[in-house]
Structure 1
Amino acid sequence: MKTIAHTKALLLAATAFATGATPALAQTAPAKPSDGVEEIVVTAQRRAENLQSVNIAATAISGDDLGERAVVRQLDLQNIAPGLSIVKAGLTEAVNIRGIGLASGSPNVSNGVASYLDGVFQPPIVSTGSFYDIAGIEVLRGPQGTLVGSNSTGGAIFINTNKPKLGKLEGAVNLEFGSYRHLGANGAINLPVGDNLAVRLSGLSTTRASYYNDIGAFANHPDRLSEQDIRGQILWQSGNFTAHYKAEFIQRETGGYAYQPIQTTGYSGSREPIRYQLQYNTTTQNSERAFINNLELRYETDGGLIIRALGAYQNKRIQNLYDTDGTSTFISNALAARGGQSQFVRERQTSGEINIISPTGGAFSYILGGYYQHNIINVRIFNFNTLTGTPSIWIEPDTDKTTTGLFAQANYKLSDQFEIQAGVRYSWFSVVGSGNTYTGRTSTFIGNPSPQTGEHQDGAFSGKLAINWTPNSDHLIYAFVARGYKPGGTNPPEPVGLDFLPEIVTDYEIGWKGSFFDRHLKTQIGGFYNKYSNFQQQVLNTASGRGGVANISAATIKGIEAQFQARFGGFSVDGGASYVNSQLGAGAFVNTRLVPGFNANGDLPQCATGVAPGATCRDYTPFIVQTTGGPALYAPEWTWNIGAQYTIPVGEGRLTPRLNYSFVGAQFTNLLYSPVTDRLESHGLVSGQISYESGSLRVEVYGTNLTNKYYVSGQNGNNEFYGAPREFGIRLGYRY
């Protein structure tokens, strides 16, 4: 592994030397227009469009503005996009928009918020890396059932990197120094090779010490960071034909996850009382690897018709070691002896999409497309006795998923002011599970197998019907109804395990986008009402002792959202707010927090009738509770943010101080709705920076979490995670 890291570091250094400049971090922004707010461009609908002229609720930010808004990685997007909640969940992050997304770590569950990197759908693992050489990021709220499909009942996130440019020699090199021995470097260079070919190389290397002090015998460094990323791109254009290939290698080491038992749960008595202090009694580790590559072919006729094909393959892997209870306590009970866990997850994905995109000059325009995606997920988990190393539970499921779809969207202008839009998609989905879970396994005894087999197939229509009214060039008023679909799946083992049904949402929205004061102020305001059937939520599948999914009969989610951007002279201000009111139906579930020694990542199945609990099974019956319903999980009622800056001319450059504030309201994490164990409290974060730009040089001093807010940022099982403390740093950037 060291060889890989050293190779990537050398390539990054070579990129920096090739620019002939001093390294720095984050590409500096071009001069903003002095006469108003710059145009916000979104590409999620396969065309470059002005955000003010499309009927979608979205937050968009350019890559040049990420630093000033304190957006370093995916987790930070919730600080600029209203209605978005991203919380730590260990192996993955739970990404939810308007209370819809991914609240389960099971590979059998599909995303409710689809994340795309350069148009390629991203599995949730290995998706927390640092942003660099980014063109822009778009967060779309609400079901995107036509163009995105079955993974977007809550919304979609599009991350677009900078592409190669023909005929231009340019680049950027960057350095960062910060708290906790944070050292970062990234660079990019665009090389023209003749008239038809361009190559872009970019890379990142960053390290940071842990925020935490593990006083246990193993002196772990959980949540430290060592990250390397190399990205190479080739663009070839001949006449109307363009081919664009990208390959990316990602390597991250964090020393394991940092967590402690939730207050009042089984091992909370062993929590460390000092903030950012831990005491584990086993080694912790987190190693992530990914290879992502994709090829886009594009042909545009002389009349403006575009034929586009995008194919991709990616291979992501994670290897983890956990202290399952997050304390120095040795776990031992009559069912099994365990305290540590080894986890390996690998996901390989092959995907392809083809589009026919019409020109937009006439009254009628359209997009036609087809999509294919195949995922193979391998999970290997075993729990072991931290004193002897003897394994007790082995989990070895394999999951095979296939998604296909056909879609079409058309716009027709009834007049200069009125336009109708209609879109439809049909998606097919299938999943096959295999493998086993073994209980009581030792080095000499294979254990008692519980098959993880199961199959499920379904399909559904999704789409959108909208009407747009553009009374003049500064205003758009729209209304639409959209339908979203999230596939069902299987809860192994079959035939004991039960399938869960597809989740269907009908979304009603109205919105108004306006520009005022000669476009010095732009606003986006909307309201929505979502009606869900067969709403999917994470529960315990007692047949296997593992997390499963159940359908709640109905759910409603409604709310309002607003954003604005303003610029008057040297003063700029932007912000957004979201109010979400949600209600889930009632249900009966196992309260796993009451089950002694329960392990959320793999436990014992329910005992058959007449079989006494012991080393091979449990009786969960005493722990079943009936709930009356409540708000959607990971759905804060209020989220809002605001940022302001003022640009001051200084000599030949400009000095810009900026201050940001973001607020994420309280949110529940479990259907039991305990205010003590199932609730993440609200928190507000303050960040700021002072930057100086002169020509191609940029110097920036920044601070994040300036009030040093200590808050819980996520949960997994009986453990909870925490947000980063206050950090300061300096960034130096040079571009040419």
Structure 2
Amino acid sequence: MRKSKLVRLCTVVCAVSAPCCVHAQQTESPPASAEANAQGIGDIVVTAQRRTEDAQRTALSIEVLGGEQLRNVGVSNPDDITKVVPGVQVSGGATTQIYVRGVGDFGVTAVANPAVVTSLDGVAISRPQAISGNLFDLERVEVLRGPQGTLYGRNASGGALNLLTAQPRLGELSGYAEGTVGNYDLLGIEGAVNAPLGGRGALRLSYQLTSRDGYLSDGSDDDKHQSVRLQTRFELGDRLTVRALASYTHLGGRGPGLTIIPAPPALSPWTGNTSDVAGDLFIKAAADAFAASGGQSPPPFLLANPKDYELFQDVDSYAGQAQLDYDLGGVTLTAIPGYRRTETRITVPTNFLYSLGGRYGPAGERADGETSDQYSLEIRLSGDTERLDWVVGAYGFKEDQSTDFVLRGGPILSTRNSLDLSTEALAAFGQATWGVLDGVRLTGGVRYTRDKRGASNFQVQAISPSITVPAAVTGLPPAPCLPETGAAPGSLCPLVNQAPGFYDSAVTFERVTWKAGFEADLAERSLLFGDVSTGFKAGGFNQAVSLTTPTELNPFRPETVTAYTLGIKNRFLDNRLQVNAEAFYLDYNNLQLSGNAFDGAGLVSIATQNAGKARVLGGNLNVIAKPWRGGTLRGSVEYLDAEYREYLVQQPAAFVSPQRTTCAISAPNAGGIVTVDCSGKTLIRSPRWSGAVGFGQEVDLAGGTLAFDADAAFATSRYLTTDFLPSQRADGYVNVSLSLSYRPAGDRWLIGAFVRNLTNEVIYTGGGGTQSPFVDGWTTSAIAPPRTYGARFRVSF
């Protein structure tokens, strides 16, 4: 059955593209006139395969967004990419979570390593908290779908998001300043200055400052960030080019928020779950559940009211990197060293409070939050001849992390948790494309990765008053943390053995990943390609005690994937019509998923677990047309058939009721552990259909250009969490955006207006949301912005 579906999808791709290919072969187009070129579809240069090439000549599943397009459609943070790239679901604000074709990572805790790797000018951003605040003064964004296991740094088992900055231009004094105002008290300023440094150098200073109130009623989902980036570029002689980049970003305000799903009657969907009304509804739901269960569920007096949670965000990210390119004579040597430090203090208001750097004591004592220091170095050699393009290289990565956070859910859950983590990764890689015949090329690539993960200094302490004090699992006596035992409010009591080094753990993962593919020129503007590739994402340790071996940390296994892709890229009608189509099949093993779990010490944790097997089958169609002067029609659609073929999770029987999940639950074993079987369920955040349609028109007016754009992004229903309750299945949506702008001849200035989510569509994104561990069915989710509108002003020089 699965093979027949793949065959049908491949047939659809060929059927869509075949008439176009025949037409291209039968008709030899004359050279395009200047008028045709002016009205044709522009080429976009990409470097996704570590070489410069036209996106339409790149044998990859890639979507490219240019800098001007990003500004026009309002992509100012990663969440906005969902509006323009089918098959991609992004949410989470500062805790950015990127899912491509149903594969991603929860991205909240320090142990998270996103399956979709985000990089800035070729240097991976390891912490999801450091991604926001980088989408300004960009040349383009490249979205690569599927595993990138050959050329990319590490863990790119689901895809890659490449942010490419606007580079310094030699011999040029130029720049721009742009202001944006809008509802929710939006005030944004962005700009850049490019200046020469002698005849061989240049610098570029870019900045973005944004202040916007929150979309949710509790003030969350605001945007208060400041970013600055300084770049230099020098051409030293005829062979050596050196680029350097330094950047700083601060994310402030109340931070990302969550709302209740489904929205309670008479409440706006944008009601924050820490608002007074939502908090009181949670306590009432807990009381109703306690009564209905005959006292088996937690009584409400043991739970904290979410309205008492402290919401805040304080993230600092510092980065420095460089790129050296040296022409050895037909071969280029490239070296890219990079460093980034990320300091995170933030609240994620799940159905309990997860707070990096949150307050726990009456005198304002706080946990330390999360700190990450990452170092990387990539060195590669590349070259090209008439028949052969090749690249070989080595990659090293090191990250040291410390995380210290509090979980606050009332006396039943009130802990301070800390852990140190380390990662050391080394890789060697190579890839080559060989022209075996005129118009036919074969590609082969291989990468060896060695990834060592370590965890040390694990501690969990109860915060008084607390009753969540299980008997110690390693010999320590129980440690009551109640005032009557002498524990002052806000004081800390040990929950697990905290003897130095007791839980220290380390493990090394090794993997060889590879790629084999072909590409064929069916005509001057038609490229057929296909490949088989593999990907790998290292395993590691959770910040929790193992459920089955309570003297160890809870581990998770590496994630692997094999992907099959067949696609075609076409340009027709004097470069006025572009038709790209693709079919794909992804086979995952040990897919890593994160969510609430109870560990071997009887405590709630946000843990990464493995779904044994998953498969994703689908197809993609993308069309751009310029049928008349100044007019552009665009449309894209992606189909996904994604399911967990084997998904078994173990949990204590006391915490898993039939009301918590629609998955099958086994009888408890002798240790009181049940197996939850979600095999056959649909992958979360993977709508069956998603896509976008758009229309743009430019008109000459008063010596300038008036431009109008209308776009609609859509997706069908999808599950948001792995409990698979009906209430956790978000409805489909259509998100409509409009913009109007005017610029005079010479493009010296621009003025425009926009409205986004015109119909005030309710779009749940799932980021950060979970089901309450104490109140069955009570679920929260991130939500996309409501209707927003505003104006843009831009001056260039």
TM-score w.r.t. length of structure 1: 0.84
The structure-2 alpha-carbon separation of the partners of 1:620 and 1:249, relative to structure 1 and needing over 3 Å to count, comes to farther
Post-superposition shift, 1:393? 0.8
The one-letter code sitting in structure 2 at the alignment partner of 1:559 is G
Post-superposition shift, 1:345? 1.9
Question: For residue 241 of structure 2, what is the aligned residue in structure 1?
Answer: 242
Mapped contact 1:418–1:469 kept (Cα < 8 A): yes
Inter-partner Cα distance in structure 1 for 2:346 and 2:654: 26
The one-letter code sitting in structure 1 at the alignment partner of 2:761 is K
Question: For residue 502 of structure 1, what is the aligned residue in structure 2?
Answer: 558
- For structure 1, the residue ranges without an aligned partner over 5 or more in a row are 1-30, 215-220, 328-336, 601-608, 611-618
The structure-2 alpha-carbon separation of the partners of 1:108 and 1:454, relative to structure 1 and needing over 3 Å to count, comes to farther
Q: Secondary structure at the match of 1:552?
A: strand
Post-superposition shift, 1:321? 4.1
Question: For residue 570 of structure 1, what is the aligned residue in structure 2?
Answer: 630
The structure-2 alpha-carbon separation of the partners of 1:59 and 1:168, relative to structure 1 and needing over 3 Å to count, comes to same
Question: For residue 531 of structure 1, what is the aligned residue in structure 2?
Answer: 587
**Of the candidates 99, 103, 106, which is equivalent to residue 102 of structure 2?**
99
Inter-partner Cα distance in structure 1 for 2:229 and 2:790: 26
Question: For residue 735 of structure 1, what is the aligned residue in structure 2?
Answer: 796
Mapped contact 1:149–1:485 kept (Cα < 8 A): no
Mapped contact 2:545–2:599 kept (Cα < 8 A): no
- Mapped pair 1:195 → 2:199: yes
Post-superposition shift, 1:626? 3.3
Post-superposition shift, 1:701? 0.7
Mapped contact 2:590–2:612 kept (Cα < 8 A): yes
Post-superposition shift, 1:262? 4.1
Post-superposition shift, 1:276? 3.5
**Of the candidates 41, 48, 53, which is equivalent to residue 37 of structure 1?**
41
Mapped contact 1:190–1:201 kept (Cα < 8 A): yes
Question: For residue 463 of structure 1, what is the aligned residue in structure 2?
Answer: 514
Question: For residue 688 of structure 1, what is the aligned residue in structure 2?
Answer: 738
Inter-partner Cα distance in structure 1 for 2:561 and 2:138: 32
The structure-2 alpha-carbon separation of the partners of 1:457 and 1:466, relative to structure 1 and needing over 3 Å to count, comes to same
The structure-2 alpha-carbon separation of the partners of 1:657 and 1:35, relative to structure 1 and needing over 3 Å to count, comes to closer
The Cα offsets for residues 399-444 of structure 1, whole Å up to 9 and x where unpaired, read as: 1112211000011111221111101001111111112332434455
Q: Secondary structure at the match of 1:67?
A: helix
Q: Secondary structure at the match of 1:258?
A: coil
What are the within-5 Å matches in structure 2 for residues 101-180 of structure 1? 101-103=104-106, 105-123=108-126, 124-129=128-133, 131-180=135-184
The Cα offsets for residues 299-326 of structure 1, whole Å up to 9 and x where unpaired, read as: 113x332100001110112212466548
Question: For residue 28 of structure 2, what is the aligned residue in structure 1?
Answer: none
The structure-2 alpha-carbon separation of the partners of 1:341 and 1:639, relative to structure 1 and needing over 3 Å to count, comes to farther
The one-letter code sitting in structure 2 at the alignment partner of 1:420 is L
Mapped contact 1:497–1:541 kept (Cα < 8 A): no
- Mapped pair 1:724 → 2:785: yes
Q: Secondary structure at the match of 2:79?
A: helix
The structure-2 alpha-carbon separation of the partners of 1:510 and 1:255, relative to structure 1 and needing over 3 Å to count, comes to same
Q: Secondary structure at the match of 2:135?
A: coil
- Mapped pair 1:446 → 2:507: no
What percentage of residue pairs aligned between the two structures are identical?
24
The one-letter code sitting in structure 1 at the alignment partner of 2:640 is V
Q: Secondary structure at the match of 2:56?
A: helix
The structure-2 alpha-carbon separation of the partners of 1:284 and 1:552, relative to structure 1 and needing over 3 Å to count, comes to closer
**Of the candidates 417, 423, 447, which is equivalent to residue 445 of structure 2?**
423
Inter-partner Cα distance in structure 2 for 1:570 and 1:556: 43
The one-letter code sitting in structure 1 at the alignment partner of 2:559 is E
The structure-2 alpha-carbon separation of the partners of 1:299 and 1:276, relative to structure 1 and needing over 3 Å to count, comes to same
The structure-2 alpha-carbon separation of the partners of 1:594 and 1:77, relative to structure 1 and needing over 3 Å to count, comes to farther
The structure-2 alpha-carbon separation of the partners of 1:669 and 1:34, relative to structure 1 and needing over 3 Å to count, comes to same
Mapped contact 2:135–2:163 kept (Cα < 8 A): no
Inter-partner Cα distance in structure 1 for 2:491 and 2:697: 70
Moved over 6 A (4+): 340-343, 591-594
The structure-2 alpha-carbon separation of the partners of 1:517 and 1:429, relative to structure 1 and needing over 3 Å to count, comes to same
Higher helix share: 2
The Cα offsets for residues 36-77 of structure 1, whole Å up to 9 and x where unpaired, read as: 100022111122211111110110011011122232221111
- Mapped pair 1:679 → 2:738: no
Mapped contact 1:466–1:481 kept (Cα < 8 A): yes
Inter-partner Cα distance in structure 2 for 1:274 and 1:557: 31
Inter-partner Cα distance in structure 2 for 1:489 and 1:541: 18
Q: CA RMSD in A?
A: 3.0
Question: For residue 290 of structure 1, what is the aligned residue in structure 2?
Answer: 317
Inter-partner Cα distance in structure 2 for 1:140 and 1:273: 36
The one-letter code sitting in structure 2 at the alignment partner of 1:543 is G
**Of the candidates 620, 629, 633, which is equivalent to residue 561 of structure 1?**
620
The one-letter code sitting in structure 2 at the alignment partner of 1:555 is A
Question: For residue 645 of structure 1, what is the aligned residue in structure 2?
Answer: 696
The structure-2 alpha-carbon separation of the partners of 1:40 and 1:575, relative to structure 1 and needing over 3 Å to count, comes to farther
Inter-partner Cα distance in structure 1 for 2:564 and 2:270: 45
Q: Give the number of equivalent residue pairs.
A: 660
Question: For residue 333 of structure 1, what is the aligned residue in structure 2?
Answer: none
What are the within-5 Å matches in structure 2 for residues 541-690 of structure 1? 542-543=599-600, 545=603, 546-568=605-627, 569-589=629-649, 595=655, 621=673, 625-676=676-727, 678-690=728-740
The one-letter code sitting in structure 2 at the alignment partner of 1:172 is Y
Question: For residue 254 of structure 1, what is the aligned residue in structure 2?
Answer: 253
Question: For residue 292 of structure 2, what is the aligned residue in structure 1?
Answer: none
Inter-partner Cα distance in structure 2 for 1:81 and 1:628: 29
Mapped contact 1:557–1:580 kept (Cα < 8 A): yes
Question: For residue 697 of structure 1, what is the aligned residue in structure 2?
Answer: 749
Which structure has the larger Rg over C-alpha atoms? 2
Post-superposition shift, 1:636? 1.6
The Cα offsets for residues 633-680 of structure 1, whole Å up to 9 and x where unpaired, read as: 22221110011111111021011111000012322233331121x323
Post-superposition shift, 1:35? 3.1
The structure-2 alpha-carbon separation of the partners of 1:342 and 1:286, relative to structure 1 and needing over 3 Å to count, comes to farther
Inter-partner Cα distance in structure 2 for 1:720 and 1:594: 25
Post-superposition shift, 1:514? 0.6
Q: Secondary structure at the match of 1:213?
A: coil
Mapped contact 2:133–2:226 kept (Cα < 8 A): no
What are the within-5 Å matches in structure 2 for residues 266-281 of structure 1? 275-276=270-271, 278-279=275-276, 280-281=307-308
Q: Secondary structure at the match of 1:362?
A: coil
- Mapped pair 1:368 → 2:392: yes
The structure-2 alpha-carbon separation of the partners of 1:357 and 1:122, relative to structure 1 and needing over 3 Å to count, comes to same
Q: Secondary structure at the match of 2:437?
A: coil
What are the within-5 Å matches in structure 2 for residues 38-53 of structure 1? 38-53=42-57
The structure-2 alpha-carbon separation of the partners of 1:383 and 1:209, relative to structure 1 and needing over 3 Å to count, comes to same
Mapped contact 1:166–1:195 kept (Cα < 8 A): yes
Inter-partner Cα distance in structure 2 for 1:620 and 1:304: 66
**Of the candidates 67, 70, 76, which is equivalent to residue 71 of structure 2?**
67
The one-letter code sitting in structure 1 at the alignment partner of 2:717 is A
Q: Secondary structure at the match of 2:760?
A: coil
The Cα offsets for residues 127-164 of structure 1, whole Å up to 9 and x where unpaired, read as: 12262211000101111111015321111010111111
Inter-partner Cα distance in structure 1 for 2:72 and 2:221: 24
Inter-partner Cα distance in structure 2 for 1:649 and 1:357: 45
Inter-partner Cα distance in structure 1 for 2:143 and 2:385: 27
What are the within-5 Å matches in structure 2 for residues 374-523 of structure 1? 374-384=398-408, 392-442=414-464, 443-449=490-496, 453-491=504-542, 492-493=544-545, 495-523=551-579
The one-letter code sitting in structure 1 at the alignment partner of 2:753 is V
The structure-2 alpha-carbon separation of the partners of 1:411 and 1:534, relative to structure 1 and needing over 3 Å to count, comes to same
TM-score w.r.t. length of structure 2: 0.78
The structure-2 alpha-carbon separation of the partners of 1:274 and 1:94, relative to structure 1 and needing over 3 Å to count, comes to closer
The Cα offsets for residues 678-701 of structure 1, whole Å up to 9 and x where unpaired, read as: 323322210010111112111111
The one-letter code sitting in structure 2 at the alignment partner of 1:356 is L
